[in-house]
Amino acid sequence: MRRAAKERNAFSRRAALIGAGQALVFGGIAARLYNLQITNHSKYALMARQNSISERLVAPERGLITDRFGVVLAGNQQHWRALFMKAMAPEPNAVLENFYALVNITSAEKARIARDLAGHPGYIPVLLKDYLDWQDMAAIEVNTPNLPGVIVEVGASRAYPLGPVAAHPVGYVARPNQEEAQANTVLALPGMRIGRAGVENEQDTVLRGVPGFVQTETNVHGVVVREVAQDSGTPGENVTLGLDAGLQQLAVQSLADNTGAVVMLDAVNGEILALASTPSFDPALFDTGVPTAVWNSWMTDPRHPLLNKATCGLFAPGSTFKPTVALAAMKAGTLTADTIHTCPGYLKLGSHVFWCDDHAGHGAINVVTALQVSCDVFFYKVALDTGIDPIAAMAHRMGLATDLKLDLPNAATGLVPTHEWAREHRISWVLGDTVVQGIGQGYTQLTPLQLATMMARIASGNEVQPHITRRIGGVLQPASTTAAPPLNVDDQHLAIVRKGLFEVVNTPNGTGYAARLLLPDVQMAGKTGTAQVHNNTSTQERDNFNDMQLAWAQRPNALFIAYAPFETPRYAIAVVVEHGNYGAQSAAPIAHAMMTYALQHDPAGRDTPLTGPLQTATPAPPVTGT
C-alpha cells in the first residue's frame, strides 16, 4: 500500500509538473493572442480592410458647355473603357499578360501602362484601353476570371456636336500630361481631362467637378463580391455661353473658305453672341490625341487654324478706326460737326504723297460725309490736327488696345501707338506716322473682338465689357446682368459719329450701302475698312493700283463693323476677312447676313428683354450735315 501511494505521489508530482509546463504554454498562446487581437488589432484590422475593400476614384462627368438656349457645344459621349486596379489583382503582371493576349495594345501604350502602374496611388485605376469595341468587350467579359482587377466601365469622352464651328470659343480638352497628373493625383484618373483652350480652359475648374469613389469588396481572387459604398462625386457645372449656335453657325458659313473672324456682341450687356474664326479645326481630336500628320498640317498651315483670330488675331483696323479718330478729335476740340476739310484726292506732306482711296478727291466735306464715303484725306488732316496721344486715349476708352479682361484665355491686347510707346520702343515718330494713324494703318493692331467692342460702345454710349460666359450652373453671371457704366463720351459727339455710320450703310454714296438691311423699319449703322498689309510702291499708289492683282497673302484685309437697330442698338458686329480686299466687298455681306439673322431671331432679346438704360443712350439726336 505504501509503495502504491508512493508511486502515485511520484507520478502525480511529475504529471503536475508536466501539466504546469503545458499551462505555461497555454499562457504563452493566450499572451500571443492578446498581442495579435488586442495590441495589434488596428494594424491587422486595417490589413484586413485593405485585403477586402478596394477603393477607387471615379472621374466626375465634365460639365456641359451650351449656347444661350441650351444647344450643347461641348458634351460627353459615353464609351466603354477598361481600367485596372492593381490592388485587386493577386498577380498584376500575370493579369496584364492575360489582358494583352486578348486586346491589342501598342507597345507604347504598354509602356505608358507600366509607368502609370508604378506611379499611381492604389485608389486610382490605370487606364488599359479607351474606346473598347464589342469584340474587346466580349473577350474581356468571357475571360473575367483570368482578369482580376480589370474593370470595364462607362467612360465619357468629350464631344463637340458643332465640331469646328465653335471650336475657338469653346476650346478643347486633352489628357493631363505627366507633370499635371503628378501635381494633382485626381487628374491621373482615367477620363479626367484638362481644358486647353477656350471656355474649356477658362472654366476648367468649374467644369471639372469632384471625383466620386466606389468601394468594392473583393475576395481573394480579386473578384468583386459586392459594392460597399458609392459616391458618384459631383459632376462639373454646366456653363452656358452667351453664344447663339445659330449665329455662330451662320458666321462660320458666311466666312466660308475665307480666313477671318466674326464677333457679334450684345451691345447692351457685352455678351458674345458669335465668335468665329476660320479656318477651324476638329476640337474632338484633342480628347483622344491629335494624329501627328494632322498636327503637322495645322502647324504648317499659313492660315493658322488653331489661332482664335477673333480674340488673338491682330489686324490693322483701317477705316474702321475712323469713328474713334473722329471722337478723339471732337473731344480734343479739333473737330466739330461743322468742320470742313477739302479732299483733293491726296495729302502731300513734304515730299511724300498720301493718297485718298478716291484719287479724284471728295471735295469739301464734313465729318459725317467723311465717314460716309470713307475719305482718307479728311482723317489725315484730323489726325494731324489732333495728334496721336488723344487718339490713343479715345481708342482705349473704346476698348481698343486695352485688356478687356475677357473670360477667354490669351486674348491679345493690341496696340494703338502713343509718343510714349514710340520712345520706349526707340521709334522716331514722324508726322507721316500720325497721318496714317488717322486711317487706322501704321502701327495700330487690334483684334476683331476689340473692334466689336468699340462698335458696341459707340452704339450704346456705355462701357460695354465683352464676355462669353452667361450662366454657370444655371446662375446668370453678374457681367450679364449689371448695366455697363456710361462711356463718358459726349452724347453729341457720339450722335455725330452714329449719323456718319448710319449714312455709310443707308445712303447710296455710303461705302456699305450694299450691306444695308432689307428689313422693314430697322436700320444698321456701320463702317467699312480696307487695311493694307503690303506697302505698295508710290507709283502703284499713284496709279490707283488694283490690290486684287496681288498674291493672296499680300492683299488688303477686308473689315466691317456695324450695329443695329440704329435707333435702339442691340447687336454690334466686327468682321475681318483676311486678304479679302475691300471691306464692302467681302466683310460687309457677312455683317449683313449676321445682322439680318440676329434681328429676325433676336437671340439677345429673347432671354433679356430690351428695356431701360438702352433707351437713355439712344436714340441719337438729329444731326444736320451734308
Partner 1 sequence: MMLESSLSLRRPFRDRSFGLLHKFLRINWLFVFCVCLLAGVGYAALYSAAGGSPQPYAQGQIIRFAGMLVVMIVIAMTDIRFIAKMSWLAYAAGIVLLLVVMKFGHTGLGAKRWIDLGPIEVQPSELMKLFLAMALANYFKRATPEQTGSLLFVAPAALAILIPVALILKEPNLGTAIITAAIGATVLLGAGVRWWWFAIIIAVMAIAAPVLYTHLHAYQKARITIFLNPGADPLGAGYNIIQSKIALGSGGFFGQGYLHGTQNQLNFLPEKQTDFVFTIIAEEFGYAGSMAVLALLFFMITLAFHTAMTCGHMYGRLVALGVGTNLFMYCFVNLSMVMGLIPVGGVPLPLVSYGGSALTAVMLGFGVLQSVHVHRDVEFTGHTDD
Interface positions with partner 1 (CB under 8 A) = 1, 3-4, 7-8, 10-12, 14-16, 18-19, 22-23, 25-26, 29-30, 32-34, 36-38, 40-41, 43-45, 47-49, 51-53, 90-91, 217-221, 225
CB nearer partner 1, residue 221 or residue 542: 221
Q: CB of 320 within 8 A of CB of 559?
A: yes
CB of 213 to partner 1, least distance (A): 19
> Are residues 492 and 621 in contact, defined by beta-carbon separation less than 8 angstroms?
yes
How many Å apart are CA 131 and CA 188, to the nearest integer?
18
Distance of alpha carbon 507 from alpha carbon 373, whole angstroms: 10
Taking the complex as a whole, how short is the minimal distance between the CB of residue 603 and partner 1, in angstroms?
Answer: 59
- Name which of 16 and 610 has its Cβ closer to partner 1: 16
Q: How far apart (Å, rounded) are the C-alpha atoms in residues 69 and 219?
A: 50
Min separation Cβ 165 and partner 1, Å = 53
- List helix spans (H) across 79-203: 92-102, 107-119, 134-142, 167-170, 178-183, 198-202
Nearer of residues 217 and 491 to partner 1, judged by Cβ: 217
Residues in the chain, overall count: 626
Count CA atoms within 13 Å of residue 532 on its CB side.
17
Residue 309 in contact with residue 576, Cβ under 8 Å? Answer: yes
Q: Give the CA diameter of the chain.
A: 157
Which is closer to partner 1, CB of 55 or CB of 491? 55
| φ, ψ at 475 (rounded to 5°) | -90, 125
**What is the rounded CA–CA span in Å between residue 207 and residue 94?**
38
- Nearest approach in angstroms of CB 194 to partner 1 is 37
- Residue closer to partner 1 by CB (options 90, 619) is 90
Residue 14 beta carbon to partner 1: minimum distance, rounded to whole angstroms: 5
Kindly state the smallest distance separating residue 11's Cβ from partner 1, in Å: 5
- Residues 6 or more apart whose CB falls under 8 angstroms from that of 195 comprise 171, 172, 173, 201, 202, 203, 204, 207
List of residues 6+ apart from 249 with CB closer than 8 A: 162, 165
> Nearest distance from residue 84's CB to partner 1, in Å?
18
Measured from the CB atom, the residue of 229 and 431 that comes closer to partner 1 is: 229
Q: Which of 270, 390, 266 is nearest to 324 (CA)?
A: 390
For partner 1, which is the closer residue by CB, 3 or 426? 3
207 membership: H or E segment, kind and range: helix 204-208
Residue type (1 letter), 582 = Y
Tell me whether residue 149 or residue 438 sits nearer to partner 1 (CB atom): 149
Task: Tell me whether residue 25 or residue 483 sits nearer to partner 1 (CB atom).
Answer: 25
CA distances from residue 103 to 94, 96, 140, 324, 594 in whole angstroms, order as listed: 14, 10, 8, 64, 50
Which CB atom, from 47 or from 364, has the smaller least distance to partner 1?
47
Q: Long-range contacts: 354-359, Cβ < 8 Å, 24+?
A: 354/380, 354/432, 354/435, 354/436, 355/541, 355/542, 355/544, 357/530, 359/542, 359/544
> Rounded distance, CA 144 to CA 612, Å?
66
Q: Closest separation between CB of residue 48 and partner 1, Å?
A: 4
> Least Å distance between CB 24 and partner 1?
11
Nearer to partner 1, 25 or 111 (CB): 25
Shortest Å, Cβ 148 to partner 1: 12
Closest to partner 1 by CB, 11 vs 552, is 11
Q: 55 exposed, middle or buried (CB, 10 Å; 0-12, 13-18, 19+)?
A: middle
My answer on whether omega of the bond before 619 falls inside 30° of 0, hence cis, is: yes
Nearer to partner 1 by Cβ, of 94 and 353: the residue is: 94
Find the shortest distance in angstroms from Cβ 232 to partner 1. Answer: 25
Give the β-pairing of 65-66 and 239-241: parallel
Q: How far is the CB of 149 from partner 1 (least distance, A)?
A: 14
Q: Which lies closer to partner 1 via its Cβ, residue 26 or residue 131?
A: 26
- Least Å distance, CB 96 to partner 1, is 16
Least Å from the CB of residue 216 to partner 1: 11
Buried b (16+ CB within 10 A) or exposed e, 522-560: bebbbbbbbbbbeebeeebbeeeeebeebeeeebbbbbb
Helix (H, G, I), strand (E, B) or coil at 62: coil
Residue with cell string 480589370: 150
Smaller CB separation from partner 1, 56 or 158: 56
Q: Which residues contact 5 (CB under 8 A, 6 or more apart)?
A: none
Q: Give least dist CB 222 to partner 1, A.
A: 11
Q: Is 292 exposed, middle or buried (0-12, 13-18, 19+ CB in 10 A)?
A: exposed
Q: How far apart are CA 48 and CA 67, in angstroms?
A: 51
| Cβ pair 573, 263 in contact under 8 A | yes
**DSSP assigned state of 258:** S
